[in-house]
Structure 1
Amino acid sequence: MKSKSNSLKLDIVIERHDGILWGRIGNRGNFTPTPYGNNTWEVIDNLKKLITDYVKHKGKNDKFWNKIDVSKLDFEFSYDLQAYFQEHDYLNITSVAKFAGLNPGLVRQYASGVKYPSNEQANKLRIAIQKIASDLLAHTIYVA
């Protein structure tokens, strides 16, 4: 862990359940915060409040959490498919599915939580989304 003067990066898994996004951070000290919100930034804001409250009250002796400066936290996000498509609703599920070589109806079922993808199917979607992101980053907008 880095000192308070440096930022600390936490891995957070964002999952969707009943239309709400939930965050999960595991194996850190004696506290497992589970923040929630309508979007990723609400989850992060809620997480910072939970950490601050924990350190102030029960976590004074927690060697991991009591050294954290919440204003300097950075995050690495992982999303389940339901949360990913909720947070990135500008992505057309049909197009992403076709790009991944998957049936669009099946991917809609994954995104709604009716069905759950195998690791292989989830990996195909991850690769497709990364290729789409790479393509988007490679393009510039021409302004006359």
Structure 2
Amino acid sequence: MEIVKIPLTIERGDSKELWGRMEYNENLIVEQAESISELEQKMKNLLWEFEEVEPNTVQFEYQFDISALFQKFDFLKISNVAEHAGMNPGLLRQYVSGAKNPSVDQAKKIENALHELASELQKAIIIA
């Protein structure tokens, strides 16, 4: 069974619902849900319904807007991520709330900071 990797873009709507979109065979598929797991299941169902892609063969590659990212990874502290990105925490809070949208450069700074933090975590060793 071959795994099908599909980019899934996830954005948070005005009333905090999540919207997902993906392209498959040049078809745009869009759905909304309350959680990422629910959204993932709905998207797999739509892929089966329209494209006859077996749900258990689908692996999504997530792409998040800033609001959805901090909803998914709610353990992240906005002020700490902002510090690592070299930006004002208040500005990052505005991005997360949807009051403002980051430029491409600002989004890249945030993404790089998150990747740097993840790299640091991967090197962590816990002793007992």
TM-score by length of 1: 0.82
Alpha carbons 1:35, 1:44 under 8 Å: kept: no
Please point out which of 8, 16, 26 is paired with 2:12: 16
**Equivalents in 2 of 1:51, 1:76: separation in Å?**
15
- After superposition, residues 1-144 of structure 1 pair within 5 angstroms as 5-17=1-13, 18-26=15-23, 28-29=24-25, 31-54=27-50, 65-66=51-52, 68-143=53-128
What amino acid does structure 2 have at the position aligned with 1:128?
A
The percentage of counterpart residues that share the same residue type is 35
SS in 1 for 2:28: coil
Q: Which has more strand, going by share of residues? A: 2
What amino acid does structure 1 have at the position aligned with 2:88?
N
- Structure 1, unaligned stretches of length 5 or more? 55-64
Q: How many pairs were matched up?
A: 127
- Structure 2, unaligned stretches of length 5 or more? none
* Larger-Rg structure: 1
Q: Which runs of 4+ in 1 moved over 6 A?
A: none
**Equivalents in 1 of 2:9, 2:127: separation in Å?**
36
What amino acid does structure 2 have at the position aligned with 1:51?
L
**Equivalents in 2 of 1:30, 1:126: separation in Å?**
28
SS in 2 for 1:109: helix
- Return the offset for 1:21: 1.1
Could you say which residue in structure 2 is the equivalent of 1:60?
A: none
Deviations 1:48-72 (A, max 9, x none): 1222333xxxxxxxxxx23x22111
